Chain A
C-alpha cells in the first residue's frame, strides 16, 4: 500500500470537466412539456363557467366533507393543503377588528364564511386541473386529487374513504363538478359512518 501521490492540478482540464458536468446537470432538469397544461381565465365561448357552483357546494358537498374529512386529526388542521372548517373540527380565524378565533370547536354552528373558505380550499387545491375539469363539463373528475386520494388512486394518509365510484360521496362531488348536484347521493353520503 502506498499513499496516492499528489500531482499538479491541470486547471484547464478541471474547468473543462466542470463545464461538461454542468451541461449534463442542466439537461437533467429539463422536462418534457406538459401539453395538457393550461390556465384559462374568463368565460368559455359557449358561456359555460369554469368555476364550480358555490350554492350547490354549500348545500350538498360541504356537509359531506365536513362530516367525513374535516376532523381535527385529518383535514381540520391549518397546515393542510385541503384545509376544512367544520362545527366539530377546526374553526376559522376572523380577520376583522383585531383578529381572533371567535368560534369554538364542537359548539358554534358553521358559518357562511367558513363554508366559503372551504369552497376556496377545494377549488384552489389544484387550480389548473380544476379549470381543465370544469372546461370539460366535469366529465373527468378523476383528474382531481380531491377524488383520487379518497379512492386511494393516490396515496392518502387517511386511507380509503370512498369504496369506488359508486360511493355516495363520490357521486355527490362528481355530480357537483358536472353541474348537476345529485342531492340523493349527497344525503346518502351523510348516512355513511
Chain B
C-alpha cells in the first residue's frame, strides 16, 4: 500500500504559527505598559525615570524592562506637590519577619531587585527621614508597585501619592539632582 500524506497549504502553516505566537502575548499587560506613556523629556531611562508611576508594570517577569523589582515606589515630600524626597529610608518587613530597607534617590524613587528579596506577603512598611516617620496604615497584600495604589488624585480607590509629611510645608526641592525632582502627576498641585 502506497504511503500517502495530506497536502497542507504553506499558508496554513504560516497562519498556525502566527496564532501560536499571538496566543503567548498578554494584551492586558501590553495595554498597561502602553497606558504609562512615553518617557518624560530630559529624563533618561534609569533610576530617576517615571517617578510616581507603578514600577513593576514594566520591571517584572513580563517586561519589557530587563531588571525586576520585588518592591518599588516613589516617596514625595508632601501630599499635594509631587516633589521627590531624597534620603528617605523605606523599612519593610514581610510575613516571615524578613526585613529589607531601601533609600530614595533625589526624585523619590526606591526599589529592591528581586535578586535581593522575595518577600512573603503581606508586607508592613514604615518610612523614616531624620526624626520624621510615617507608617502605612494597612499592609501590602501582594502589589509590588507602591504607586499602583498610591496614585493621584486621592479618590475612592487611592489615598494619593506617598509623602514623608502629612501636611504640605513648601520645603525646597532636593538640590543637585541630575534631573528635575518635580514629577508631573495627574491631580497633583
Contact = CB atoms under 8 A, between A and B. Distances in A.
Contacts of A105: 154-159
Interface stretch (A22-30, A83-91, A120-128): A83-91
A86 to B, nearest CB: 8
B139 interface: yes
B114 interface: no
B138 interface: yes
A104 B156 contact: yes
A71 B140 contact: yes
A88 B3 contact: no
Interface size class of B (residues with CB under 8 A): 20 to 34
A93 to B, nearest CB: 7
A107 B159 contact: yes
Given A2-B4, A4-B6, A4-B7, A74 B141 contact: yes
Interface string B103-134: 00000000000000000111010000000000
Q: For the complex, would chain B's binding face be called helix, strand, loop or mixed by DSSP majority?
A: loop
Contacts of A76: 157
Interface string B154-177: 111111100000000000000000
B100 interface: no
A88 B160 CA distance: 12
Contact of B156 (A88, A93, A158): A93
B7 A104 contact: no
Contacts of B5: 1, 3-4
A149 interface: no
A105 B160 CA distance: 8
B2 interface: yes
Contacts of B2: 2
Contacts of B160: 106
A40 interface: no
Interface string A63-84: 0000100011110111000000
A104 B154 contact: yes
A90 B156 CA distance: 6
A142 interface: no
A72 B149 contact: yes
Contact of B141 (A3, A101, A106, A158): A158
A4 B4 contact: yes
B159 A104 contact: yes
A76 B143 CA distance: 12
A146 interface: no
A151 to B, nearest CB: 15
A37 interface: no
A90 B155 CA distance: 9
A103 interface: yes
B180 interface: no
B137 A88 contact: yes
Interface in A32-68: 67
5 contacts: A89-B138, A90-B157, A91-B157, A103-B156, A193-B122
Interface of A: 1-4, 67, 71-74, 76-78, 88-93, 101, 103-107, 157-159, 193
Interface of B: 2-7, 120-122, 124, 137-143, 148-149, 154-160
